Structure 1
Amino acid sequence: MPLRLPILWRDNLLSTAVSSPRSEITEIPAGAGTNLMPRRMHESYAQVTLPFASDPHLLDSYTNANGGIRTGKIMEHLDSLAGSVAYKHALGPAVESLGSIILEGFYFVTASIDRLDMLQPLTPQDTSDLRISGQVIFVGASSMEVAIKLESVNETTGEEKTVMIGEFSMVCRDAVTHKAQKLNPLILETETERELFHIGKVGKERKKKISLLSLSRSPPCEDESSLIHSLFVVHQPFTDSKGRPLETTPMGNTMLESTALMHPQDRNFHTTDDFSGYLMRLAYEIGYSTATLFANRPLRFFSLDNTTFKLPVPVGSILRLQSKVTHTKSGAANFRSDRHASLVNVRVQADVLDVKTGDKKTTNEFQFTWGDDHTLHKTVIPVTYIEAMEWLEGRRALDVGDQIRKFRS
């Protein structure tokens, strides 16, 4: 998996210092956009196995404080495998290593994640390995949809269980101009492949629709406006399923914040920015801390909702993460109930801070959902209008998650 560029950082700095500015480069090397050989869907398939059953030391390095698996580290691998699948589609199924992007003429970045859904608890077992696999299911002009699956494979019985599924959007960029680069078209040979292609296409269209309906762009619907009015004006009490009042916590009181300096050891393949999987792991871990502190107990991860990587995070910059609980479900009369007694939605905002200028730019907004089957005796409430919009976004995320989990069950 192309987690890191296979050259030393100090050598990269030297080559960067003596290389010509981009404006002086007149010859664009041949890349994905100039050799558009059609590819079959299965040719992009890639998989990686974490051999926990035969390597207890590896298993120990992935075990968290509660005896489970560090999900954030697994997410880092999911993103890396999606990158491997993308390069395999562009360079061909026989590719085994990646050279300089200037020689290849292009590179891939993670544009967005449609969803990541945990289908069952991720717990370590001495007899099971974890297998991460994926392949391209849709190709557009310069972007592709990559389906990723995480499975538990029991070495003793041979039983395989799907633990997590997700869909990543990868975008191809020109190595010199950084503009969109055309991709190899996809050959569809079977009815199953045509169905997968349709799923990927629908997923891409759905992300555009979700973006347009975001409360940062569009006002809330009539029902949501009435709900906010009731919350602030009528002061409708929050109660559980038995009519008992729930303890309310202002949203601002749930916030956690952390900063991290972006080191070159965590850079991605094209060397200038930090690896998106690493950012996802940092966001997951602060989000988990926020949900756990709010619930006063460890919670199980359920899903990561649609998130877009808006801007790169350059090496040497400072990443600031702000996390807070935006919505909760507790089987209360105010919410729709599902088979889980408690659900907690956490929003994590990632900002990149320029060390020299102090400028702040938002790179990502993550929406995570945690929960369990135990009753949650409190809920979060917004105080400001902006928090009210975040509260509604969290409510939407939990409702969508409910529908997906019920459909899959």
Structure 2
Amino acid sequence: MLVLLTANPLVYGQGCSIPLPYTLSGKPDLPFSKTPFSPMAPPFSKHPPGAGLAFSITSQKITCFASSIGIHGITSGWASSSRISTLLLHCSNEDGTARPLLLVTASVDKMVLKKPIHIEADLTIVGAVSWVGRSSMEIQLELTQSAQGNPNISSSPALVANFTFVARDSATGKAAPINQISPESEQERLLWEEAEERNKFRKRMKQEQKHGESEDPARLKALLAEGRIFCDMPALANRDSVLMKDTCLQNSFICQPQQRNIHGRIFGGFLMRRAFELAFSTAYAFAGAAPHFLEVDHVDFFKPVDVGNFLRLKSCVLYTELDNIAEPLVNVEVVAHVTKPEHRSSEVSNRFYFTFGVDPVAIKNGLRLLHVVPATEEEARKVLERMDAENLSLVKKDGNLNVVKENKCTEKTNL
């Protein structure tokens, strides 16, 4: 059961849970498209509570195999409905009319599972606009579970996600200004400041990666040492290690119209779902025991994916974290390629990074994970970049945002 707590007519028009009619061109024929709009209507300020929505989800709706809750169900469907509705509610005018905007997902911040999610309790997703720039905005979603008398379930958020969107004019395709927000309460101002710091942090990290400031030749050489033994003297290689290339999986598919969004392109949540499924399978095949989801790192949407595109997903285990033998971690990369054989081209549309834990029962029974080693400089650089990204996360501590490594919820969760 999905409950949408809003009376905004634009939300119904977008049809979060209602199919939209499509024209022959593949574009949605929106029910409200005949309403007279003011294309250049100036944006105005709103208060964050006015842009908030809440959804209630029956856990049975997103149950996957082995009676567990699928994280792909949360990211691909239900969270997307709430964030789209929140966006439209914020970008609408008070009288229900608004200039038509293309709202495009630019990125998704790291999502860390803070506590186990129980299958017997329903979920609630609350979304609100936390930060607005000139033509971009950030939506924060919180997922909680109702205790319903269960002493094992707390009311604190199980998952917090931040989505960044950019607005484009539907006629010109250029950046379009959007309504601003006026934070009033202490909590609203705090959310704004945290989002502002995240934006600055992302820009700083991109600049460092662009100029190669984080590369360390000594670390690179040390990381490649064991991989070269595998390549040059395989009989003498460490049997507790495996080459990165030997952990790879991939799949390919044609993007179908059923997965398109209201703008006629492939829905970003669908891409996250397919990436998660491949990452889960990769971790499963590597570990030899069922993994459980812990986090997905920052996701950038580099290129749009259209209906009919030939999409290839390639995955590999980048590295394992074996410091805590009882709770080893598996870090998996999934890269999505839009392939066009007729043009002999292949472009990266997304990169996804997932972290999984391993079944603790299997660990107690003697299961041990292998070290993953790179064989080329490109692979080694990729591993170092991910390790640095893991060690440089913004976390609120004592009222301030600090760059530290977040603690993952290693307790077994049915995800």
TM-score over 0.5 for the alignment? yes
The CA deviation string for residues 49-96 of structure 1, in whole angstroms up to 9 with x for no partner, is 1124xxxxxx1x52222331111111112233222211111115886x
Give 3-state SS (helix, strand or coil) of 2:90's partner: helix
The residue that corresponds to 2:68 in the other structure is: 68
Contact (CA 8 Å) 2:227, 2:375: kept in 1 or not? Answer: no
Contact (CA 8 Å) 1:367, 1:397: kept in 2 or not? Answer: no
Pick one of 255, 264, 288 that aligns with 1:262. Answer: 255
Deviation at 1:120, TM superposition (A): 1.7
Pick one of 14, 25, 39 that aligns with 1:13. Answer: 25
Deviation at 1:227, TM superposition (A): 2.1
The residue that corresponds to 1:218 in the other structure is: 212
* Distance change >3 Å, CA 159–CA 387, structure 1 → 2: closer
The residue that corresponds to 2:279 in the other structure is: 287
- CA separation in 1, counterparts of 2:326 and 2:406? 13
Deviation at 1:341, TM superposition (A): 2.2
The residue that corresponds to 2:300 in the other structure is: 308
Pick one of 131, 134, 140 that aligns with 1:141. Answer: 134
Could you tell me which amino acid in structure 2 is paired with residue 48 of structure 1? Answer: F
Deviation at 1:391, TM superposition (A): 1.5
Structure 2's unaligned 5+ residue stretches are 1-10, 29-35, 230-237, 394-403
Contact (CA 8 Å) 2:54, 2:82: kept in 1 or not? Answer: yes
* Distance change >3 Å, CA 314–CA 149, structure 1 → 2: same
The CA deviation string for residues 36-59 of structure 1, in whole angstroms up to 9 with x for no partner, is 12110111111211124xxxxxx1
Contact (CA 8 Å) 2:73, 2:273: kept in 1 or not? Answer: yes
In the alignment, is residue 247 of structure 1 matched against residue 240 of structure 2? yes
The residue that corresponds to 1:173 in the other structure is: 168
The CA deviation string for residues 331-356 of structure 1, in whole angstroms up to 9 with x for no partner, is 1xxxxx5x972111111101112364
The CA deviation string for residues 252-294 of structure 1, in whole angstroms up to 9 with x for no partner, is 11111111211111111112x1011111111111011111111
The residue that corresponds to 2:91 in the other structure is: 90
- CA separation in 2, counterparts of 1:250 and 1:5? 47
Could you tell me which amino acid in structure 2 is paired with residue 30 of structure 1? Answer: S
In the alignment, is residue 346 of structure 1 matched against residue 332 of structure 2? yes
The CA deviation string for residues 77-135 of structure 1, in whole angstroms up to 9 with x for no partner, is 2233222211111115886xxx9xxx84212111001111111223311xx11111110
Residue correspondences, number:
366
- CA separation in 2, counterparts of 1:15 and 1:286? 29
Alignment of 1:193-208 (within 5 A): 193-208=188-203
- CA separation in 2, counterparts of 1:284 and 1:217? 30
- CA separation in 2, counterparts of 1:322 and 1:234? 24
The residue that corresponds to 1:323 in the other structure is: 315
TM-score, L = length of structure 1: 0.80
Contact (CA 8 Å) 1:327, 1:394: kept in 2 or not? Answer: no
The CA deviation string for residues 270-326 of structure 1, in whole angstroms up to 9 with x for no partner, is 12x101111111111101111111111112211111111011101111111101111
Deviation at 1:228, TM superposition (A): 2.2
Deviation at 1:396, TM superposition (A): 2.4
Structure 1's unaligned 5+ residue stretches are 17-27, 53-58, 238-244, 332-336
Contact (CA 8 Å) 1:248, 1:381: kept in 2 or not? Answer: yes
TM-score, L = length of structure 2: 0.79
The residue that corresponds to 1:403 in the other structure is: 405
Identity fraction in percent:
26
Contact (CA 8 Å) 2:328, 2:369: kept in 1 or not? Answer: no
* Distance change >3 Å, CA 405–CA 93, structure 1 → 2: farther
- CA separation in 2, counterparts of 1:122 and 1:94? 40
Contact (CA 8 Å) 1:304, 1:368: kept in 2 or not? Answer: yes
Give 3-state SS (helix, strand or coil) of 1:80's partner: helix
* Distance change >3 Å, CA 49–CA 407, structure 1 → 2: closer
* Distance change >3 Å, CA 135–CA 104, structure 1 → 2: same
